[in-house]
Amino acid sequence: MIEIRTPDWVKHAVFYQIFPDRFAQSARVPKPNNLEPWDAAPTYNGYKGGDLLGIAEHLDHLQDLGVNAIYLTPIFQSATNHRYHTHDYYQVDPILGGSSALRELIDAAHRRNMKVVLDGVFNHASRGFFFFHDILENGPDSPWLDWFIIEDWPLNPYDGAKPANYVAWVGNRALPKLNTDNPQVREYLMRVAEYWLHEGIDGWRLDVPFEIKTEGFWQEFRQRVKAINPEAYIVGEVWRDSRQWLQGDQFDGVMNYLFTAAVIAFTAGDRVIPDLVRDRSYDPIPALHAEEFAAKIDWLLELYAWEIQLTQLNLLDSHDTARLRNIAGGDKASVHLATVLLFTFPGAPSIFYGDEIGLPGGQDPDCRRAFPWEQPERWDQDVLAYHKALIALRHAHPALRTGRFQRLYASGGLYAFARQNDAETLVIAVNTAEEMQRGEALWSAFGQTNEQISFTTVYGRGEALCNNSSLLITIPPRDGLILLATN
């Protein structure tokens, strides 16, 4: 039986996911001429010119928000704005400021007690990756032939009318799949992971790790990463049931899209725009009532060990999805209720850059709009205020980070649960219905003497009263409530 150990800092983290090309520009990073205007609608291929020094220069915003961990989508040299087509795993893209800019960002973040996690794309590389490019140049005479899976000749990396003749991720010939069964390839990737840990990063988010089938690959990856930094975070991009990777010998957590889907289906319900969630590997439709939502959450919390639950990366949207604001048809209450659940649920909450100011966005590339630093009139100050309030509450109350979880009530549009440690108990309730909801939950399960309990509202609207062995909860329409139990 493997003893499951996960990084303690992740349990207390609030993550902020940044798509570097779209977050912020620094005047200190030279730029090529043919960039898209910052405020123009994003395109699939165009660059805005965001960089890592721009992030470093806006850490005040993140600190003021309450963020203490940053997850960067890929930053290594690439010929795409998203950089999932890696050219060189040892060089930060020059448009981002190069490797010296990453060093400055890491140092600046660490001075503020912020962690930095990078995106590792280890299943596939790109047509411009040196080892694959050598095969394109030299054909069967390339010394790197077995670094990829070549099926026939000639290779056709650009002509879609002809077979590619090599294995690529989901058939995308721009992304030749690395042959991780080759020990040389495996060792190369392990050393890449080790190198950037020595450079000071705090963990790896792993792109499509389920595509690597090589036996023992991720077990070795964990061993070598943890040998350098036992507190390094390893989080995989797995959208569905992830038990095979979360047994304590591979990842510390995954991007928790099972949580995402359930929360959206409950808080946004029938408001979800189907066209914005199709062709994604999660299921925010059909709408869920509280009873159905509770069943999904109960199942999810039984799926993995508690130590893993506390280091799951919980999110509402990302660079791979439309933003929740758009998914919910612009309904602000849906986003608010989902955000209440995000910051009170077990696991590390993650904000996609711009969500804290109400930045809209449909599916890729629209979800990757540039952050409007020069247009503060576009910031939704109400959204910013409740993000700050909920993050502050999470930091102020350890029970919201590591406390036990118990469902208290689920019926109609009302869902309530408690987070409790030995020092404090908080009750969280959300009402997704269009009318006031009242519910009665058994409170004795928490071993409290009801006559001695009262509640202080620390967030939202509504009330809760103890009556004999019951907790009576009342919540206004489409609102949320967080209460602190006091004796």
Among 366, 396, 426, residue at a domain's last position: 396
295-306 residue pLDDT tens:
999 999 999 999
Among 396, 420, 435, residue at a domain's last position: 396
Predicted pLDDT at 444 = 61
Predicted pLDDT at 378 = 96
The reply to whether 318 and 440 lie within a common domain is no
Residue 410 lies in a domain: yes
Residue 76 lies in a domain: yes
Q: Answer for the pair 411, 439: CB distance below 8 angstroms, yes or no.
A: yes
Q: Which of 57, 207, 356, 479 is catalytic?
A: 207
Predicted pLDDT at 470 = 85
The reply to whether 79 and 222 lie within a common domain is yes
Q: Which of 237, 317, 331, 355 is catalytic?
A: 237
Verify whether residue 302 is a known catalytic residue: no
- φ, ψ of residue 404 to 5 degrees: the values are -65, 155
The reply to whether 95 and 48 lie within a common domain is yes
Among 396, 416, 442, residue at a domain's last position: 396
The reply to whether 298 and 376 lie within a common domain is yes
Predicted pLDDT at 163 = 97
% of residues, the chain, pLDDT over 90: 93
Residue 299 lies in a domain: yes
Q: Give the separation between CA 97 and CA 93, rounded to whole angstroms.
A: 7
Verify whether residue 207 is a known catalytic residue: yes
Predicted pLDDT at 452 = 65
The reply to whether 208 and 60 lie within a common domain is yes
Characterise 468 by phi-psi region: left (phi > 0), alpha (psi -120 to 50), beta (else). left
The reply to whether 340 and 322 lie within a common domain is yes
287-346 residue pLDDT tens:
999 999 999 999 999 999 999 999 999 999 999 999 999 999 999 999 999 999 999 999
Angle (deg, nearest 10), helices 332-342 and 381-396? 20
Q: Answer for the pair 285, 265: CB distance below 8 angstroms, yes or no.
A: yes
The reply to whether 345 and 437 lie within a common domain is no
The reply to whether 213 and 303 lie within a common domain is yes
Residue 163 lies in a domain: no
- Quote the domain boundaries for residue 59: 8-123+180-396
Residue 147 lies in a domain: no
Tokens of 179: 């042959």
The reply to whether 196 and 287 lie within a common domain is yes
The reply to whether 369 and 420 lie within a common domain is no
**Domain count within the chain:** 2
Burial (CB < 10 A; 0-12, 13-18, 19+), residue 374, is exposed
Low-confidence residues in the chain, pLDDT < 50: none
Cα–Cα distances in angstroms (integers) from residue 18 to residues 68, 209, 453, in the given order: 13, 20, 43
Q: Give the separation between CA 16 and CA 350, rounded to whole angstroms.
A: 5
The reply to whether 118 and 228 lie within a common domain is yes
The pTM (predicted TM-score) of the whole model is: 0.97
